[in-house]
Amino acid sequence: MSNPDTREAIQRDEICEKLLNFLEIIRRLRAPDGCPWDREQTHKSLKSYVIEEAYELTEAIDSGDPEKIKEELGDVLLQIALHSQIALEEGKFDFGDVLDRISKKMIYRHPHVFGDVTVSSAREVEANWYRLKKVEKRMDSALDGIPKALPALLRAHRVSERAAKAGFDWPEIHGIFEKIDEELEEVKAAYRKGSAPEVLEEVGDLLFTIVNLVRRFGGNAEEVMHQANQKFITRFSEMRKTLPSSAGAREMDDAWEAVKERERALKNHPEGSG
């Protein structure tokens, strides 16, 4: 039987070899005689691909398919390698510098693992992480450092989360429900005034309060909205299957309710779905 330490060392060597081979592929693609498309790319031109690949990875994770997750992780790694190669060509940094920076950050932000700090819960770990991040990035406000490019619902979640950790939160959940009622009345008042910009502003306040409600129930508004979108798409598709293209609003509404009723029946009696 082989030594576990030997097996781990062999595995590390194999991973290092695969990583170096991958980086050589990226270097070759960017070489003067490489791929014309890859050679033209810049940090800025690749920006949208980073976001797109991250979303595709989240979809793969939601699918639970290991092969899809593996593939999409590779696509995310491709973006990191391309950006690192571009920076190397500009004389700014390389892939090794990226690894070195994240390694140092992980050690610095995990003193309970690599240092002598003692923690008793994940919440304490999170509090220490944020405290160290605040010092490291010289953040003056609890809301500093939240990326502006985040999807709006996710950014609202992070903003409300940070504010809550700073002590600015409703003591009880019923206070959020009261705030939602208040914000909804303000939307209606703006509508009665006939001011579209004011309606939109008040709807924004309403949405932000709802994000807080989702957070307090342990959810993330971005994920909740994704689920709601998919639910609507599924129901809409089922509804259209039962209707002619000439169906009017009343027929569609009736068909929509029928789809919802079938969903309830399946949920209450799943064994009958086959």
Q: Taking 90 as the threshold, does the pLDDT of residue 100 lie above it?
A: yes
Shared domain for 248 and 220, answered yes or no, is no
**Domain-located, residue 8:** yes
Pair (12, 50) in one structural domain: yes
234 located within any domain:
no
pLDDT at 139: 67
Q: Is residue 112 domain-resident?
A: no
Please check whether residue 134 lies inside any domain of the structure: no
Contact 168, 219 (CB under 8 A): no
Chain-centre distance for alpha carbon 16: 29
Q: How confident is the model at residue 46 (pLDDT cuts 50, 70, 90)?
A: very high
Across the range 71-91, mean pLDDT stands at 97
Its domain, for residue 46, covers 4-100
Whether 106 maps to a domain, the answer reads no
Is residue 181 located within the same domain as residue 248?
no
Q: Does residue 179 lie within any of the structural domains?
A: yes
Q: How far is CA 19 from the centre of its chain?
A: 26
Half-sphere exposure (Cβ direction) of 45: Cα atoms closer than 13 Å: 8
- Residue 104: closest CA among 112, 95, 94, 114: 114
> E strands within 103-231?
none
Task: Count the Cβ atoms, other than its own, within 10 Å of residue 40.
Answer: 9
258 in Cβ contact with 241 (< 8 Å): no
Amino acid at site 11? Q
Q: Closest Cα partner for 201 from 215, 183, 217, 216? A: 183
Q: Is residue 115 situated within a structural domain?
A: no
Q: Minimal CA–CA distance to 215: which of 155, 256, 264?
A: 155
Please tell me the distance from the alpha carbon of residue 107 to that of residue 132, in angstroms, as a whole number. Answer: 11
Percent of the chain residues topping a pLDDT of 90: 62
- Structural domain count, the chain: 3
Q: Are residues 91 and 176 in the same domain?
A: no
Of 227, 225, 226, 255, the closest CA to residue 242 belongs to: 255
pLDDT of residue 1 exceeding 60, the answer is no
CB-CB neighbours of 247 under 10 Å: 15
Cα 246–Cα 255–Cα 243 angle in degrees, nearest 5: 30
Shared-domain flag, residues 8 and 96: yes
> Which CATH number is 23's domain given?
1.10.287.1080
Same-domain pairing of 207 and 263:
no
Cα 121 to the center of its chain, rounded Å: 24
Domain end, chosen from 100, 116, 134, is at: 100
Which pLDDT band holds residue 2 (cuts at 50, 70, 90)?
low
Whether 33 is covered by a domain: the verdict is yes
Residues 6+ apart with CB under 8 A from 201: 190
| Residue 212 pLDDT level (bands cut at 50, 70, 90) | very high
Q: pLDDT tens, 47-69?
A: 989 989 998 999 999 899 999 99
Q: Which residues contact residue 265 at a Cβ distance below 8 angstroms, ignoring those fewer than 6 apart? A: 272
